[in-house]
Amino acid sequence: MTADHQKFMAAAIALSFEAMRTGRGGPYGAVVVKAGEIIGRGMNEVTSINDPTAHAELTAIRQACEHLNQWNLAGCELYTSCEPCPMCMGAIYWARLDRIYYGNTKEVAGQFGFNSQYFYDELAKPRDQRQLSMHPLMSTEAQAAFEEWAQQADRQSY
């Protein structure tokens, strides 16, 4: 562990305490770092701003993208006080972050009642075996949008 690793993880953990002590949300914090500088900060604010997507990692990613004015965070790293849930992991992959550092494991989080393992288990199942009810509908009409997309010469893939 280098001094930088320690500094940035300490910043993420400090945000986790701040979220809890200020009543913003659960004890979770995260920072996005680029070239030795924090460019995005987030803490859990789900219950205070009524946004179920306001997890520390998602908020830190959005703030870093706003800072850089780009959706791609290649070259950046995320420090988070806890191993991310599938929603945040998805955002981390979409943002193309280089790597992540985490404090608590999801197993430790589970001991305190934060059960992201349930989400991992659900997503690993075939869609018709999940507890969430999922129904296909109007596939032909929906596919027409993809077909038009494939014909666009200037489409911006990512």
Q: Residue 125 Cβ, how far from a copy of itself at the closest point, in Å?
A: 10
Say how far apart CA 112 and CA 101 lie, in whole Å: 20
Q: Residue 128 Cβ, how far from a copy of itself at the closest point, in Å?
A: 11
Write b or e for each residue in 20-55: b if 16 or more Cβ atoms lie within 10 A of its Cβ, otherwise e. Answer: beeebbbbbbbbbbbeeebbbbbbbbbeeeeeeebb
**Between 37 and 125, whose beta carbon lies closer to a copy of itself?**
125
DSSP structure class, residue 41: E
Catalytically annotated residues? 57
**Between 35 and 147, whose beta carbon lies closer to a copy of itself?**
147
**Between 37 and 66, whose beta carbon lies closer to a copy of itself?**
66
Q: Residue 110 Cβ, how far from a copy of itself at the closest point, in Å?
A: 10
Question: 81 in helix, strand or coil?
Answer: strand
Residue labelled with tokens 């494991």: 105
Partners of 43 in the β-ladder: 29
